[in-house]
Structures are given as structure tokens and as C-alpha cells.
């Protein structure tokens, strides 16, 4: 997939502290339109925190984040308007248990975008079809497998037509045999040109689908580059150690 | 006259019961009405306070917690007496009915706020995050995502608490509210026969047993969900 120079997400000097613990120590990350950036790193390296800063679920201590031309950390910015352009998929799916799949997808369409019910239903059905779950529209989350739940969660984000999608360990909570279905959906999204930032341990997926792999350790970007370089010939010792460890699990 | 006859004519005197039935029915109607307004007021105010508390404004929350703890700790009878006998001294005289309504509503509000709050807190942080990440505002996330889940969890304890507190309408007899117990006691003082109290007890059963059954039904109805 060809990438353009137009940056959808431009994060600069992001720092984040929880009390005296500094989790992010000045991270710069630029994501171009239609690019798939993969963030890897040991647990506690700050990957998820970084991702959560990108839609302000975490408030960075300092730095700037520009999404689609708008500084989302600026005072007075309409963060809710920005968030609907930034899709997020969580490790634990976080589907609404009291709503069926359709209801999960239509809620924001109706309450945030103000779509009438029939139009919202139509958009939601199309989104569910994209993730291969049109026939599960009336099912409640507790009637769906983990893989299906995660795909509904992806549809929920997709339906709002975001400019960029953030994936926070989307397959970590899944049984191994269900991982493939979620990765397939993510690959389809990439084929259709969605800009994506993925935090994950699915190295095989990173190798084949990522445009760029970013290795984060102790709150800093150690190294970034094409997947074949990061996995094949990493320049930094820390990267090499991590990649070796993760591939020989 | 055998002991049994004496017992029956004392506590189950049909003639006395028939004579005072209309009075007890009046009391029954009034008690039902009082119970309903207490439940409506207490649950609404409790939910409202829990929602306000979820905004996490420190000074406001301290005030809420202080008031809630106070009204959970005070015996309802004490509150009724304070409102009925003390308020007129500052020019705020209220009827017995209003005194009981306000008092029990305050107590139910306090308990309901705690229960609703516990329900809101028990909904996982991920639900908030998912909702907010799609652009829903705080109050939309609360209304459409968190409260529907929280309320489901709170129905059984709320039902039990509502029953316990509305039974306290019998305390209205202390401030001359013509509810069931008052009517039964009035009947007793006219007839010198406690069968009116038996009739009153029956009226309470007719009023509250459906409540209790409804509470159990709703508990099993929601127990298996989630």
C-alpha cells in the first residue's frame, strides 16, 4: 500500500508521568495517511499509555499531538469531536453488555453523529458486514466468542469512519484459534487504506502487514523502521534482545 | 366461654372487623399513596445524587457523603419527630403526612444514593473508555452505557430497601397521619377490641406481600444475566 506524506497523526515530545513514575520520556511519532505503524516493546515500556494519549484517554504531561491537522491537546479543543475521528479497539473488547451487536455499533452513530435510527442501522449493518458478522447483529456480547466480540468492537469504531484507528493489544485476550479472524479483519482494513497504529505482540502480523515497526522501551523509542530491518537486522542491542526473546517464545 | 372463644372474639371479632373495615380501607389507600410517593421521591433523588457524585467534585461529594451517612444513621422516627415538632418553631409547620413523606424520602434517598453509587462504580472503567473513545460526552456515557448496567445490578438491593423503608409509614401513627396503623388504633380505642389491629395487619400483608414477591421475581429475573 502506497503511503503519502500527509501526516494523520503527529505526536511530538510526549511525556507522561504517573506520580513520580515517568512512563513516557519524550516520544515523537508521525503516522502518515494509510500507514500501518506497529508499536512493539516489553510490558511496562509505555506502549499502551502512548496509544491512549493519542485520543486523550490519558492526558500527556507535556508534548503536542496533532491529529488530522488539529492539536488535540489545545485548551478548548472539542475532544469528543476529535475522538469520533480516532477509532480505538481495546484488549478487553469493552462491548456494552446490555446492547446487542447492532446497538453497540449504532450508539455513537445516533448519539454523537445524530443519525436517525434507520440510517444508523444501515451504516452499522455495513460495518458489521465488513467484519463478517452481519448475521450476528441481534446477538448480545455474551452470546459471541471473543473473536466475534472484538470484531464487533472494530465495527463499532469503523462505523464512525475514523481517520485513524488505534489498536491496543487487540488479540491478547483471545484464544489462539480466534486470533486469525481478528487479524484478517485488520488486514482487510489495511488493504482498504485505513491508517492504523497497532500495539501488539503478533510479530508475524507485523512482519507481513506493517509499514513501520517502532520499538519502545522504558518510555523511549529505541528504534523504528521497516519490519524486515527491525526484525532482520536491528541496529540496537535492546531491540535485538527483545526481538530474539519474543520470537523464541 | 372457652379460652379459644375468648381469643377469637378478642382478636378475630368479625362484627368489629366489619364495622371498622371502611376506616382501615381508608388507611390502606392513604398508606399506598404515601408509600408510592416516598418510593418515587427517594429513588429519583437518590439516583440524582449518585449522578452528581459521579462528577467527582470534591466539596460536593463530601456534602453528599455526609448527608447520606447522617440519614442512614438516624432512626426514621427521630427524623419524623424533628420535622413535625421542631420545624413549626421556625415557622415551617407541615402536616403529619408531609412530615412522614419528607422523612422517609430522605432516608430512602440516602440508601438509594449509596446503592446507585455502588452500581455505577462496579461498571468497569473499560466501559467508560469505550464509550468516550467513540466521542460520547461524559453524561452520554453515563446515561446510555453505565447507568443501564448499574441499575440492573441495583434492582434487588433497591427493592429490599424500598420495602423496608415504606413499611416505616406506620410511624405516621405518631404524628396523626391516618394511615393503616393509626386507623387500627383509633378503631381499637372506640371498640375496646384489638380485632381492628388484626385487620390492620392484614392490610399491611395485602399491601406489602406483592411488593416482596415482586422483589424476589426481579432478583431471579436479573440474577442469571451477565
Q: Does A69 share its domain with A166?
A: yes
Confidence class for position A143, pLDDT limits 50, 70, 90: very high
Confidence class for position A2, pLDDT limits 50, 70, 90: very low
Of the partner residues A81, A94, A98, the one whose CB lies closest to the CB of residue B130: A94
How many structural domains compose chain A? Answer: 2
Q: Does A121 share its domain with A45?
A: no
Q: Does A216 share its domain with A154?
A: no
Q: Do A107 and B152 touch (CB under 8 A)?
A: no
| pLDDT at res. A1 | 42
Query: What's the start-to-end Cα distance of chain A, in Å?
Result: 30
> Has residue A1 been placed in a domain?
no
B147 chain-A contacts, CB cut-off 8 A: none
Q: Do B134 and A94 touch (CB under 8 A)?
A: no
Average pLDDT of the residues in A89-111: 96
pLDDT tens readout for residues A73-87: 999 999 999 999 999
Measure B144 CA to nearest chain A CA, in Å. Answer: 8
Average pLDDT of the residues in B125-130: 96
Asked if residue A228 has pLDDT above 80, the reply is yes
Range of the domain at A65: 7-85+162-247
Q: Is B226 exposed, middle or buried (0-12, 13-18, 19+ CB in 10 A)?
A: exposed
> Has residue A91 been placed in a domain?
no
Q: Does A123 share its domain with A80?
A: no
> Has residue A143 been placed in a domain?
yes
Q: Is A145 exposed, middle or buried (0-12, 13-18, 19+ CB in 10 A)?
A: middle
Q: Could you give the percent of chain A with pLDDT greater than 70?
A: 98
Cβ-Cβ contacts under 8 Å between A and B: the total is 64
Confidence class for position A206, pLDDT limits 50, 70, 90: very high
* Cα B128 → chain centroid: 31
Q: Does A20 share its domain with A62?
A: yes
A156 chain-B contacts, CB cut-off 8 A: 130, 134
> Has residue A90 been placed in a domain?
no
A157 chain-B contacts, CB cut-off 8 A: 133-134
A107 chain-B contacts, CB cut-off 8 A: 131, 134, 136, 144-145
Contact B200, B183 (CB under 8 A): yes
Which of B124, B125, B132, B133 should one mutate to test binding to chain A, selecting the residue with the greatest count of A CBs within 10 A?
B133
Measure B151 CA to nearest chain A CA, in Å. Answer: 11
A80 chain-B contacts, CB cut-off 8 A: 132, 135-137
pLDDT tens readout for residues B184-224: 999 899 989 899 999 999 999 999 999 888 888 877 776 54
Of the partner residues B133, B136, B152, the one whose CB lies closest to the CB of residue A111: B136
CATH of the domain at A243: 3.40.50.300
Contact B146, B3 (CB under 8 A): no
Contact A65, A28 (CB under 8 A): no
Q: Do B130 and A107 touch (CB under 8 A)?
A: no
Q: Which of A107, A129, A161 is the last residue of a domain?
A: A161
Contact A95, A106 (CB under 8 A): no
Q: Do A84 and B131 touch (CB under 8 A)?
A: no
In the numeric block, which cell numbers belong to residue B223?
Answer: 440474577
Asked if residue B176 has pLDDT above 90, the reply is no
* Cα A26 → chain centroid: 20
Q: Does A80 share its domain with A199?
A: yes
Q: Does A145 share its domain with A32?
A: no
Q: Does A130 share its domain with A143?
A: yes
A18 touches chain B (CB under 8 A): no
pLDDT tens readout for residues A154-187: 999 999 999 999 999 999 999 988 999 999 999 9
Whole-prediction pTM = 0.85
pLDDT tens readout for residues B91-114: 888 899 999 999 999 999 999 999
> Has residue A239 been placed in a domain?
yes
How high is the mean pLDDT of chain B?
Answer: 91
Residue B75: which residues within 8 A CB-CB, separation 6 or more? none
Contact A105, A156 (CB under 8 A): yes
Q: Does A117 share its domain with A143?
A: yes
Closest-approach residue (CA) in chain B for A113: B135
Closest-approach residue (CA) in chain B for A109: B134
Residues 121-150 of B with CB under 8 A from A: 124, 126-127, 129-137, 140, 144-145, 148-149
Measure B135 CA to nearest chain A CA, in Å. Answer: 4
Short-list B165, B124, B163, CA closest to B146: B124
Contact A195, A6 (CB under 8 A): no
Q: Do A96 and B127 touch (CB under 8 A)?
A: yes
A173 touches chain B (CB under 8 A): no
The fold for domain B22-223 equals MetI-like fold (1.10.3720)
Q: Where are the domains of chain B?
A: 22-223
Q: Does A119 share its domain with A173?
A: no
Closest-approach residue (CA) in chain A for B143: A111
Helix (H, G, I), strand (E, B), or coil: what is residue A196? strand
Q: Do B152 and A90 touch (CB under 8 A)?
A: no
Q: Does A168 share its domain with A47?
A: yes
Rounded-to-integer distance, Cα B110 and Cα B38, Å = 12
Measure A249 CA to nearest chain B CA, in Å. Answer: 29
Q: Do A156 and B134 touch (CB under 8 A)?
A: yes
Q: Does A152 share its domain with A104?
A: yes
Amino acid at each position: 500500500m502506497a503511503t503519502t506524506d500527509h501526516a494523520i497523526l503527529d505526536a511530538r515530545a510526549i511525556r507522561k508521568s504517573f506520580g513520580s513514575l515517568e512512563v513516557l520520556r519524550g516520544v515523537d511519532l508521525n503516522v502518515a495517511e494509510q500507514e500501518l505503524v506497529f508499536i512493539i516493546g516489553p510490558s511496562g515500556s509505555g506502549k499502551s499509555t502512548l496509544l491512549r494519549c493519542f485520543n486523550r484517554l490519558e492526558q500527556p504531561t507535556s508534548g503536542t499531538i496533532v491529529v488530522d491537522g488539529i492539536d488535540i491537546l489545545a485548551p478548548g479543543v472539542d475532544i469528543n469531536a476529535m475522538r469520533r475521528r480516532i477509532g480505538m479497539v481495546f484488549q478487553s473488547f469493552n462491548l456494552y453488555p446490555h446492547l446487542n451487536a447492532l446497538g453497540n455499533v449504532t450508539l455513537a452513530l445516533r448519539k454523537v453523529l445524530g443519525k436517525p435510527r434507520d440510517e444508523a442501522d444501515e451504516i452499522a449493518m455495513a460495518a458489521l458486514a465488513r467484519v463478517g458478522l452481519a448475521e450476528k447483529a441481534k446477538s448480545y456480547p455474551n452470546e459471541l466468542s471473543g473473536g466475534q466480540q472484538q470484531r464487533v468492537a472494530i465495527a463499532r469504531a469503523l462505523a464512525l469512519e475514523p481517520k485513524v484507528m488505534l489498536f491496543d493489544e487487540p488479540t491478547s485476550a483471545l484464544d489462539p484459534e480466534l486470533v486469525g479472524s481478528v487479524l484478517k479483519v485488520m488486514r482487510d482494513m489495511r488493504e482498504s487504506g485505513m491508517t492504523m497504529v497497532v500495539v501488539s505482540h503478533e510479530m508475524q502480523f507485523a512482519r507481513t502487514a506493517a509499514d513501520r515497526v517502532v520499538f519502545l522501551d522504558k518510555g523511549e523509542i529505541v528504534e523504528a523502521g521497516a519490519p524486515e530491518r527491525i526484525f532482520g537486522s536491528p541496529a540496537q542491542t535492546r531491540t535485538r534482545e527483545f526481538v530474539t526473546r519474543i520470537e523464541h517464545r | 366461654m372457652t379460652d379459644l372463644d375468648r381469643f377469637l372474639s378478642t382478636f378475630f371479632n368479625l362484627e368489629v372487623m366489619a364495622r371498622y373495615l371502611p376506616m382501615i380501607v381508608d388507611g390502606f389507600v392513604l398508606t399506598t399513596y404515601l408509600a408510592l410517593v416516598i418510593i418515587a421521591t427517594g429513588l429519583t433523588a437518590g439516583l440524582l445524587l449518585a449522578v452528581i457524585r459521579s462528577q467527582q467534585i470534591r466539596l460536593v461529594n463530601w456534602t453528599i457523603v455526609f448527608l447520606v451517612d447522617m440519614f442512614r444513621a438516624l432512626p426514621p422516627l427521630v427524623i419524623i419527630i424533628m420535622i413535625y415538632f421542631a420545624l413549626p418553631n421556625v415557622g415551617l409547620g407541615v402536616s403529619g403526612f408531609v412530615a412522614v413523606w419528607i422523612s422517609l424520602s430522605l432516608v430512602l434517598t440516602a440508601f438509594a444514593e449509596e446503592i446507585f453509587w455502588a452500581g455505577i462504580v462496579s461498571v468497569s472503567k473499560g466501559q467508560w473508555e469505550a464509550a468516550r473513545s467513540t466521542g460520547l460526552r461524559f453524561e452520554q456515557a453515563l446515561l446510555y452505557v453505565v447507568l443501564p448496567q448499574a441499575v440492573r445490578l441495583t434492582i434487588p438491593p433497591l427493592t429490599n430497601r424500598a420495602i423496608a423503608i415504606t413499611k416505616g409509614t406506620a410511624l405516621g401513627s405518631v404524628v396523626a397521619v391516618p394511615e393503616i396503623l393509626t386507623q387500627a388504633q383509633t378503631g381499637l380505642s372506640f371498640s375496646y377490641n384489638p380485632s381492628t389491629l388484626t385487620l390492620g395487619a392484614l392490610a399491611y400483608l395485602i399491601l406489602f406481600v406483592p411488593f416482596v414477591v415482586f422483589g424476589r421475581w426481579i432478583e431471579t429475573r436479573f440474577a442469571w444475566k451477565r
